[in-house]
């Protein structure tokens, strides 16, 4: 019974991590596209240099990578889950995520 509760808790934890991952992908893509638009039309929000825009894009990408490194881990073994966001099982420990 206790094992079943732990498994259910870890599956909830995975769904939470998966939601955070989906949200971070959406936010990063939105910001990158917005910055690309601003780069094409630098006068859209006032004068912004292309170097500043490129720097902001790098910051967004680095932040996304940072969130992914910290968040996208198996709730059972804490190993990185890899690129498959709809994964059903951890490749490292075999825990069923769904």
Closest CA to 17 of 91, 62, 58, 76: 76
3-state secondary structure of 82: coil
What's the whole-model pTM score? 0.82
Residue 47: per-residue pLDDT:
77
Residue 53: per-residue pLDDT:
87
Share above pLDDT 90 across residues of the chain, in percent, rounded to a whole number: 60
Per-residue confidence band for 71, with pLDDT thresholds at 50, 70 and 90: very high
Residue 2: per-residue pLDDT:
54
Contact at 8 Å (CB) between 24 and 71?
Answer: yes
Give per-residue pLDDT as tens, 28-49: 999 999 999 888 876 777 777 8
């Amino acid at each position: 019974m206790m094992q079943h509760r732990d498994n259910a808790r870890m599956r909830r934890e995975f769904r939470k991590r998966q939601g955070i991952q989906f949200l971070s992908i959406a936010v990063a893509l939105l910001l990158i596209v917005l910055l690309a638009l601003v780069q094409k039309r630098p006068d859209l929000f006032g004068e912004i240099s292309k170097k500043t825009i490129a720097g902001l894009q790098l910051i967004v990408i680095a932040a996304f990578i940072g969130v992914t490194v910290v968040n996208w881990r198996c709730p059972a073994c804490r190993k990185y889950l890899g690129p498959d966001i709809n994964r059903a099982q951890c490749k490292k420990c075999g825990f069923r995520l769904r």
